[in-house]
Amino acid sequence: MSDLVVIIQCQLAHNRCSGFACSHSFYERQGAFVDYPEGTRYLSFTCGGCCGKGVAAKLEHLAGKLRKKTELKPDNVVIHLASCMTTDNHHYDRCPHVDYIRSIVAKKGFTRVVEGSFVSASATELRSRGVYRDYQQSTSRD
């Protein structure tokens, strides 16, 4: 069970993408968000830019707010590394810093990580035709 879903988006992609598709998918419980129960909250922010080191301060801030303002623990949080970071897609290829960012997430005490958020039908089609590379998505939601 999770009480909070955090989507971390690529800073470069976020410069041209509002994140609407990811948040809409969450609220509609589609794709990567299909199994989240009603009442699960949502938050998004960016990685902070290449190389992703800026995400450390954001996660530290989040952890502090969770401690001070809620009863939520890091185990109540699922971190989604957005599809703009983890797949070959319209914006860019897979982020070369994903493993580094995952290590920062773990170091900050967040162990439930999912690669992916929204994936469009056209990207799925292009991936099936070999236009975009297909990367295995690793998940540790539970």
List, for residues 117-134, the tens digit of each pLDDT value. 998 888 878 778 888 887
Residue 43 pairs with which residues in a beta bridge? Answer: 6
DSSP for 47-91, written as a single string: --STTSTTHHHHHHHHHHHHHHH-S--GGGEEEEE-HHHHS--SS
Residues of the chain with pLDDT under 70: 1-2, 136-142
Which has the closest alpha carbon to 2: 52, 57, 74, 53? 74
Residue ranges covered by each domain of the chain: 4-128
Question: How confident is the prediction for the chain on average, in pLDDT?
Answer: 90
pTM listed for this prediction: 0.87
Which has the closest alpha carbon to 93: 127, 140, 56, 52? 127
Q: Which CATH number fits domain 4-128: 3.30.1380, 3.30.1140, 3.40.50, 3.10.20?
A: 3.40.50
Strand-pair category, 4-9 with 113-115:
unpaired
